[in-house]
Amino acid sequence: MHKRIGIALIALSCVLYVALVVVPFLPVGAESQVVLATGLAISSEGTFWLGCLVAGRSIIAYLGNKLWPAYWRAKAST
């Protein structure tokens, strides 16, 4: 159960990072955009690390191996 919650938190952090792209197009003032972008960046980073703590070391190692570009090259050559 912890692994699923951790992965969900990591996925949520990715969604929050993608939401940063939308901030410049919102019809609010520049100060509000800066505050919102800062809040999204801090919350997404915090959510990611919280998800890493909850998911556990084995899941993070698995994701790290799968997301490492050298892994893709090694897999493509075999």
Site of tokens 């410049």: 24
Q: Check: CB of residue 6 under 8 Å from CB of residue 51.
A: yes
Q: Check: CB of residue 2 under 8 Å from CB of residue 56.
A: yes
Model confidence at 3: pLDDT above 90: no
Q: What's the rounded Cα separation, in Å, for the pair 57 and 6?
A: 11
Model confidence at 71: pLDDT above 80: no
| pTM as predicted | 0.76
What is the number of helices (H) and of strands (E) in the chain?
4, 0
What are the tens digits of pLDDT across the range 6-31? 989 999 999 999 999 999 999 999 99
More confident residue, 40 or 74: 40
For residue 40, which of 27, 23, 52, 53 has the smallest C-alpha distance? 23
